[in-house]
Amino acid sequence: MSVSSSSLPSAEIVARLRAAGCVFAEDEAELLVSTAATADALAAMLERRVAGEPLEHVLGWASFCGLRVHVEPGVFVPRPRTEFLVDRAVALAREVPGRPVVLDMCCGTGAMGAAVAAGLAGRVELHAADLDPAAVRCARRNLPAAHVYQGDLYDPLPPSLQGRVDILITSPPYVPSESVALLPPEARLHEPRFALDGGEDGLDVVRRVIAAAPFWLTPGGRLLVETSQNQAAATAEAVRSAGLLPRITTSPEYDATTVIGTLARPTP
Give per-residue pLDDT as tens, 199-216: 999 999 999 999 999 999
Per the CB < 8 A criterion, the answer to whether 152 and 126 are in contact is no
pLDDT at 2 over 70: no
Mean pLDDT of 3-16: 72
**Residues 70, 108: Cα–Cα separation, whole Å:** 11
Per the CB < 8 A criterion, the answer to whether 135 and 75 are in contact is yes
Per the CB < 8 A criterion, the answer to whether 179 and 207 are in contact is no
Q: What backbone torsions phi and psi does residue 254 show, to the nearest 5 degrees?
A: -90, -10
**Could you give the angle at which helices 25-35 and 39-50 cross, rounded to 10 degrees?**
140
**Residues 115, 130: Cα–Cα separation, whole Å:** 17
Helix (H, G, I), strand (E, B) or coil at 197: strand
pLDDT at 141 over 90: yes
Per the CB < 8 A criterion, the answer to whether 63 and 27 are in contact is no
The conformational region for residue 78 under phi > 0 = left, psi -120 to 50 = alpha, else beta, is beta
**Residues 254, 239: Cα–Cα separation, whole Å:** 23
Pairing outcome for strands 256-262 and 217-227 = antiparallel
Given this model, what pLDDT does residue 6 score? 46
pLDDT at 3 over 90: no
Instruction: Name the amino acid, one letter, at 70.
Output: H
Report the range of poorest mean pLDDT among 14-23, 101-110, 126-135, 228-237: 14-23
Given this model, what pLDDT does residue 25 score? 92
- Indicate the DSSP class of residue 82: G
Q: What backbone torsions phi and psi does residue 109 show, to the nearest 5 degrees?
A: -70, -10
**Residues 126, 110: Cα–Cα separation, whole Å:** 10
DSSP 198-256: --TTS-HHHHHHHHHHHHHEEEEEEEEEEE-TTTHHHHHHHHHHTT-EEEEEEETTTTE
> What percent of the chain clears pLDDT 90, i.e. is strictly above it?
88
Q: How many residues does the chain have?
A: 268
Per the CB < 8 A criterion, the answer to whether 207 and 217 are in contact is no
Given this model, what pLDDT does residue 75 score? 95
